[in-house]
Amino acid sequence: MAQRKIIHIDCDCFYAAIEMRDDPRLAGKPMAVGGAPDRRGVIATCNYEARAYGVRSAMASRHAVKLCPGLTIVRPRFDAYKQASGEIQQIFREYTELIEPLSLDEAYLDVSLCTQFDGSATRIAQDIRRKVAQRLRITVSAGVAPNKFLAKIASDWRKPDGLFVITPAQVDEFVAQLPVARLHGVGKVTADKLQRLGVEQCWQLREWPRLALVREFGSFGQRLHDLAHGLDERPVENDNRRQSVSVENTYDQDLPDLPSCLEKLPQLVDTLEQRVARLDSSYRPGKPFVKVKFHDFSQTTLEQTGAARDLRSYQQLLGQAFARGGKPVRLLGVGVRLHDRRTDVEQLELFGPVT
């Protein structure tokens, strides 16, 4: 099998970069894109000047202003961001059709079969960065590697406005020294458990047999074993199908208890049903879920296989989710996982006609 060549492109503080581009007065000063501090707003993103003060995405705007009193917060302009994202996608398509967008400002590209620049993924990434800077007047960082897992890590290695390449020959040594917290899918809970087991870097994780990892971490143990050896066979998926549909709301005043949360539920469920009704017939609604974000920004999501998508089911899920925190609530969300009906057709075709 030919060696895969994967590029991960990540725009540098994308929303903020577009705002600074369109209003040069914002450049060089701490600024962020988000909601107003006096209306329980949240920071969507910020520039690097603001990050120097400790401002971060998903932080309450009120807290961000305390950290950085001179912070300028502008309201998001999603139409402008979507337009810029579309222009960047057009640049990608000058090299390959195998593009997997992760968000407006981030995507994987598989350039394994690209003939431009003699097939050099590094030179393709350099050219993409040059064109984005020239045409959109913003910067992007790029990572080049033999798989998605490593390409994403590489794009963050020399941010902002950087390029980092991990060649096949460098994979083993690079991954060995990688902190396990950087592995795809390893969150705080898993990282803490690994640390208690004496595992902080991938070379230590490699000392664990595959079966031992499966015993400790279930099916994710197999994934841990592969990643610790730099293995990731996930393809770049250029058919980006929806996995769920949801609706959520952040409230101006915290909801103090479960009854006040339940009062808000019917309106959320009604809005969700309207969105589900607009889906095309290739989707089949599946598991319902609820999301609860508490006043301290801790959050939980709870879903249930086989549950109905009616108000009573969401009430039961919300009750269980609220019990996990038992604190005032700032955000409620309801949603449903989606099943792609096209996979049913593909499976029938695979096994031949049904008689």
Residues identified as active-site: 106
DSSP 119: G
In sequence order, the 6+-apart residues with CB closer than 8 A to the CB of 315 are 262, 265
Phi and psi based region of residue 306 (left: phi greater than 0; alpha: psi -120 to 50; beta: remaining): left
Task: Please answer whether residues 201 and 180 qualify as being in contact, where contact means their C-beta atoms are separated by less than 8 angstroms.
Answer: yes
- Going by their DSSP bridges, the two strands 140-145 and 163-165 should be labelled as parallel
Where does residue 268 rank: exposed (0-12), middle (13-18), buried (19+ CB within 10 A)? buried
> Does the annotation list 38 as a binding residue?
no
Q: Which of 86, 102, 82, 90 is CA-nearest to residue 15?
A: 82
Paired tokens of 304 = 């249930």
Q: What angle do CA 260, 263, 264 make, to 5 degrees?
A: 100
> Does the annotation list 22 as a binding residue?
no
Paired tokens of 231 = 């293995």
Neighbouring CB atoms inside 10 A of 34's CB total 25
Q: What angle do CA 257, 258, 260 make, to 5 degrees?
A: 70
Query: Does residue 115 sit in helix, strand or coil?
Result: coil
Type of residue found at 130? R
CA distances from 285 to 239, 242, 288, 307, 313 (A): 19, 11, 8, 11, 14
Q: How far apart are alpha carbons 61 and 37 in whole angstroms?
A: 5
Binding residues: 10, 105
Write out the binding residues for Mg(2+). Answer: 10, 105
